[in-house]
Amino acid sequence: MPIASSAVDSSPVTSNSSSTPSVASYFSATEVMDAEIRSALKCIDSHYSLNSCEGLSELFKNMFPDSSIVKQFSCSATKCAYIIYFELAPYFIVAIFKCANIHINWDSNSNEVTTRYFTSVFMGHSSEEVTLSVLREATEKLNVSKLLNLSMDGPTVNWKLFSVLQVDWKNDFGCTLIDVGSSTLHTLNNCFKHGNLSTSWDLEGFLASIYWLFKDFPARKEDY
What pLDDT is recorded for position 138? 82
Backbone angles phi, psi at 27, to 5 degrees: -60, -45
Q: Do 166 and 188 fall within a single domain?
A: no
Beta bridge partners of 107: 112
Residues 168 and 204 in one domain: no
| Domain assignment of residue 37, given as a range | 23-93
Task: Say if 100 falls within a structural domain.
Answer: no
The residue among 108, 88, 83 whose CA lies nearest residue 98 is 108
Structural domain count, the chain: 3
Per-residue pLDDT tens over the stretch 175-223: 888 888 777 777 878 888 888 888 888 888 888 898 888 888 888 878 8
Contact 149, 180 (CB under 8 A): yes
Within this chain, do residues 143 and 189 fall inside the same structural domain, yes or no?
A: no
For the whole model, what pTM was predicted?
0.44
Q: Is residue 99 part of a domain?
A: no
pLDDT value at position 13? 35
Same domain for 212 and 191: yes
Handedness of CA 205, 209, 210, 215 (dihedral sign): positive
Do 159 and 201 belong together in one domain?
no
For the chain, list residues with pLDDT below 70: 1-29, 97-108, 154
The answer on 200 and 160 residing in a single domain is: no
Do 160 and 190 have their domain in common?
A: no
Is 158 contained in some domain?
yes
- For residue 123, tell me if it sits in a domain: no
Same domain (yes/no): 30, 85: yes
- pLDDT at residue 51, rounded to an integer: 93
Residue 65 lies in a domain: yes
53 falls within a domain:
yes
Residues 143 and 164 in one domain: yes
Same domain for 27 and 88: yes
For residue 215, is it within any domain? yes
**30 and 88: one domain?**
yes
Which CB contacts under 8 angstroms, 24+ apart, belong to 2-11? Answer: 3/34, 3/37, 3/41, 3/91, 4/34, 5/30, 5/31, 5/33, 5/34, 6/30
1 in a structural domain: no
Q: Are residues 31 and 84 in the same domain?
A: yes
